[in-house]
Structure 1
Amino acid sequence: MADVKTGDLVTPGDQLCVIEELSPGYGTYEKDGIVFAATSGGVSIDLKDRAIRILEPNGTVRLPLPVQGDILMGEALNVYEQRAEVSLVKRNGKDILSPLAGEIHISNVTRRFVRSMSDVIRPGDIVKAVALNTHTIPVELSLIGPDLGVLLAKCVKCGNDLTLTTYNNLICLRCEHRETREVAKEYGHMFGLEQRTDLAPRRRSYDDRRQDRGRRGSGGRRNNYHYGNHSRRNGRPRRDSRR
């Protein structure tokens, strides 16, 4: 029989039964033939339909797990070299009664090359993502798309909200620290933050870059090399090869 009975309280990840005993219903998911709890709540077993589901404490049915294409919002909890863990709290604009676990792989952040996940997302960031799979925990997420990405980021130095300047460039108005994220098109809008293009990183002019190249390329050997009968190189007279 099942490992639990009707009325038992469970949390996400708790093993409930095997698929041969009961079919997964609301608030559950199946992996490798075992049914697990996807959210917190009370167990409800329907012996007639041979199904198991998770209910709210007041007896109401929880919303089903996200499906492919659902738009989800949440907070980044842990960020590693190649992936980030997200606590999901909204699904298609509606609150999720109990946070769900989501995960973003570095290959699903942007189409451009990214060396490390911390270059595009940090712990505490609020993100908007799309679900890549159906009825699985953790939910596989993608940030690829103009309406997807980081909606709000915090300064890693002082914790203040970061302000968007230009494409993926952010600045802290308190300590002037600059950072980068893979931001959504509507970054900061729902949090009352306005874009400040006047604070964008200054782009160096062509003349400045050319002067720097000239300074790097000028060495002692070139400066000491002169042409003519009386020129010297390395302290010795230079012989004129002309007849």
Structure 2
Amino acid sequence: MAPPARYCVPGERLCSTEEATAGSGTYTRHGFIFSSLAGCLERKNEDNELPVVSVVRDSESQLLPNVGAVVTCKVCSINSRFAKVHILYVGSTPLKSTFRGTIRREDIRATEKDKVEVYKSFRPSDIVLAKVISLGDAQSNYLLSTAENELGVVVARSEAGVQMVPISWCEMQCPRTHTKEFRKVARVQPQFLQT
């Protein structure tokens, strides 16, 4: 049984030039071979020579988040400086595999950035609409922003496990217990609502 194909993203370091030769879909820099496109890693061995490493796009290539794209993501963890998320959708298209993203404290709101507190904006498992402001690579995450009225938390569950309803741009309320929790609430535009 063949091992599962390794999926590569642009800029991902594949191996050193001592281990293999760069093939199509790759480039070399500083003694290493990098992927120049999104696709599956292929390694072909020629007679007694270094294997040729190439990256091949699959027919239905993976959609990648690009700068300016609105993405739907799920909050995984938070700390005082940023929220870590998994990107699930680009626009309304679901991704085959999730990408990691980071929403930094200064990218949560457009105003009063110095007063923003991450734990008052997001909680783990919140579903958030955000905009890509910088592309990631294999080592780092996509940088995301919610600094627009239309971006922020769209789905959140209360401690009672009930889906909360927004009551202002910075609060959501549990319909069962009526407790209020702070969130950076998105004013959702009709085109982003999933039916």
TM-score between both structures, scaled by the size of structure 1: 0.58
Give the CA deviation at 1:46: 8.9
**One-letter amino acid of the counterpart of residue 141, structure 1:** L
The answer to whether 1:148 aligns with 2:180 is no
Which digits, 9 at most, give the CA deviation of each residue in 1:147-203, with x for residues without a partner?
A: 211111111x212111111232211011121111111111898479xxxxxxxxxxx
Cα 1:191–1:122 shift into 2, 3 Å: farther
- 1:176 corresponds in structure 2 to 178
Q: Identity over aligned residues, as a percent?
A: 18
Aligned to 2:42: 44
Cα displacement (A) at 1:132? 1.1
Residue of structure 2 in register with 1:122 after alignment: 123
Matched, 1:16 2:14: yes
SS of residue paired to 2:100: strand
- The residue number in structure 2 matching 1:236 is none
- The residue aligned with 2:89 is 90
What letter is aligned with 2:151? L
Please report the TM-score for the alignment, with normalisation by the length of structure 2. Answer: 0.71
Q: Deviations over 1:103-127 (max 9, x none)?
A: 1100000122435311101101101
Higher gyration radius (CA): 1
Aligned AA (2:74): E
Letter in 1 for 2:164: L
- Bigger strand share: 2
Decide whether aligned partners of structure 1 residues 79 and 21 sit closer, same or farther in structure 2, where only a CA change above 3 A counts: farther
Runs of 4+ in 1 over 6 A off after TM superposition: 11-14
Alignment of 1:63-142 (within 5 A): 63=62, 65-110=64-109, 111-112=111-112, 113-134=114-135, 136=137, 137-142=140-145
Contact 1:65–1:135 under 8 Å retained in 2: no
Q: More helix per residue: 1 or 2?
A: 1
Alignment RMSD: 3.9
> What is the rounded CA distance, in whole Å, between the counterparts of 1:12 and 1:124 in structure 2?
27
The aligned counterpart of 1:224 is none
Q: Secondary structure at the match of 2:169?
A: coil
The amino acid of 1:78's aligned partner reads S
Q: Is the 8 A contact 1:151 1:187 kept in 2?
A: no
Q: Which amino acid aligns with 1:147?
A: E
- Cα 1:115–1:146 change in 2 (3 A) is closer
